[in-house]
A and B are shown apart, each in its own frame.
Chain A
Amino acid sequence: MFEKVVNYCRKKSPWLLHVSCGSCNNCDIEVLAALAPRFDVERFGGVLKPNPRHTDILVVTGIMTLKMTNVLKRLYEQTPDPKAVVAIGSCAITKGIFAETYASYGPADAVVPVDAYIPGCPPRPQAILHGVVTALNALWGG
């Protein structure tokens, strides 16, 4: 019974950390647009937090560029459990249009274990919200 309550509270207050690892900042702006009044993410309790200590969902965009990969690894380790990773945009899923570039270690799941993928270039803010909420239900929905 206690586990159900805690999982319910985790589902209802997802604190997000947005990490951009070499994206064309269109997905980053759509993540910020998800905060704007039209697609308000705070309806689901979501808040964009400044540092990994306070967050439990890592929102990752972009192809993992050479310099940004170990930064993402460190951020992933600094986030306290239980945590989730959502990869946004076709760059984070399959390196998208930059597939043959020399300057990338691979899509998001080559660096950190990813729980939810949101395709699109850029995915619309509704799609981002839908992806985050489905990830929440899958992880702690019960």
Chain B
Amino acid sequence: MFPYRWPVLIRVSAVRIGDLMDVQPFISVLIVPGLLFTSVMAFLYAGMYRKVRARMQNRRGPPFVQPFYDFIKLLSKDSIKPEKSGMLFTWAPIIALASVLIVPILFPIGGLSFAGDLIVVIYVLNVSAIMLAVGGFSSGSPFGAVGGSREVTQLFAYELPLAISMVAVAVKASSFSLVGIAGAQEAGGMFFYQLPFACIAFLSIIPAKIGLQPFDIPEAEQEILGGPFVEYSGYRLAIFTFANQVKYFVVISLAVILFFWRNWWQFLITGFLLWLLFIFVKIISARVKTDQSFVFFWQYMGILALVDLVRVVI
């Protein structure tokens, strides 16, 4: 059946596209700060992570494009779904990836932005963390369950200082949207010296959020064999690790936007430098236990963020 209707549609849509809706949202969702740009940056961040880590341990380390090879190889392997695992076993990684991919669309570099998108960012990043825990619980293995419960306890641990420091920044820039915050910083200079305590609190949360060394308790490989990831394989594992790698990029660039913003190309450079700093912190620290991380976040970082919030509000 020759699709004779085909040319009609093209003629009609060609006219419609021109005037009905402008093309800008498609570009910002699909290309610039959206899917293509984020995935390239995520692979770049992960490749840099493994190369710099290896170089710091004076060994050669894998090529920069190694995460790309791993991703394709994992996609090509067959994925085993244990009987004891629930329906969420397949959906958890997909939701985690989707929720993490939403955040870069709101970035001030040519992305869509609306009044309260900072709240969306906080909520969506939590969704991906919870999806990691749900993935662990639904995998049906004791290690997954322990990994999931650790992820949730760690989520409670760092949630308080994170929210407080973000609210402090929003109140300082008197706007709850990333573009507004970026604009305030372009006008009044970077926030990291105006709100030093909130900056320290936020930067110390990042290793816990990403799962880097001092606080990578959920995926502790030696203790619980990879935590929530224990039963995942094939394309499901590929999506989960890709979601994690995107999270590396998203959380680091969020920190840059909130505290070190001047303009868009400086945003990329500071992102890489901050990422080097976190790799270095990972290199020199061992994995702490859940109760120690709890104490660290609630007592020290919580108070620091509070001090800055009070300072800004008064």
- A and B touching (Cβ–Cβ under 8 A): yes
Closest CB in chain B relative to A81 CB, distance in Å: 5
How far, in angstroms, from A8 to B69 measured CA to CA in the complex? 8
Q: If A5-B72, A80-B80, A81-B77 touch, does A40 touch B66 (CB 8 Å cutoff)?
A: no
Interface: A29 (CB within 8 A):
no
- Within B65-92, the residues touching A (CB, 8 Å) are 66, 68-70, 72-73, 76-80
A74 touches B (CB below 8 Å):
no
Indicate if the CB atoms of A13 and B231 lie closer than 8 Å.
no
Do residues A42 and B69 form an inter-chain contact, with CB atoms below 8 A?
Answer: no
Tell me the minimal C-beta distance from B230 to chain A in angstroms.
6
Closest 7 CB pairs of A and B: A37-B59, A9-B72, A40-B59, A50-B225, A53-B233, A13-B69, A12-B69
Number of B residues near A (Cβ < 8 Å) is: 31
| A6 sits at the interface (CB 8 A) | yes
Cβ of B188 under 8 Å from chain A: no
- 205-251 of chain B: CB within 8 A of chain A: 221-222, 225-226, 229-234, 237
Contacts of A80 in B (CB 8 A): 77-80, 233-234
Across-interface contacts of B225 in A (CB, < 8 A):
50-51
Cβ of A28 under 8 Å from chain B: no
A131 CA / B232 CA spacing, docked (Å): 28
Among residues of B, the one whose C-beta sits closest to the C-beta of A55 is B233
User: From B65, which residue of chain A is reached at the shortest CB distance?
Assistant: A12
Given contacts A37-B57, A45-B62, A81-B78, whether A53 and B72 have CB atoms under 8 Å apart is: no
Interface residue ranges of A22-45 to B (CB < 8 Å):
36-37, 40, 42-45
A-B contact list, 9 entries, CB within 8 Å: A36-B59, A40-B59, A42-B62, A45-B63, A45-B70, A51-B225, A54-B229, A80-B233, A81-B78
Q: Across the interface, name the chain B residue whose C-beta is closest to A46.
A: B62
With contacts A54-B229, A81-B77 known, is A42 near B54, CB below 8 A?
A: yes
For residue B54, which residues in chain A have a CB less than 8 angstroms away from its CB?
Answer: 40, 42
Asked if B111 lies at the interface with its beta carbon under 8 angstroms from chain A, I say no
Asked if A10 is at the interface of the complex by the 8 Å CB criterion, the answer is yes
Q: If A43-B61, A50-B221 touch, does A10 touch B226 (CB 8 Å cutoff)?
A: no
**Measured between alpha carbons, how far is A94 from B78 in the docked complex, in Å?**
32
Other A-B contacts than A43-B60, A54-B229, A56-B73, 9 sampled, CB-CB below 8 A, are A5-B72, A9-B72, A10-B76, A13-B73, A37-B57, A43-B62, A50-B221, A53-B237, A56-B77
Residues of A within 8 A of B77 (CB): 56, 80-82
- The answer to whether B222 touches A45, judged by C-beta atoms less than 8 angstroms apart, is no
Q: Which residue of A lies closest to B230 (CB)?
A: A51
B58 interface contact, C-beta 8 A: yes
From A6, A36, A40, A56, contact of B72 by CB (8 A): A6
Indicate if B50 sits at the interface (CB-CB under 8 A): yes
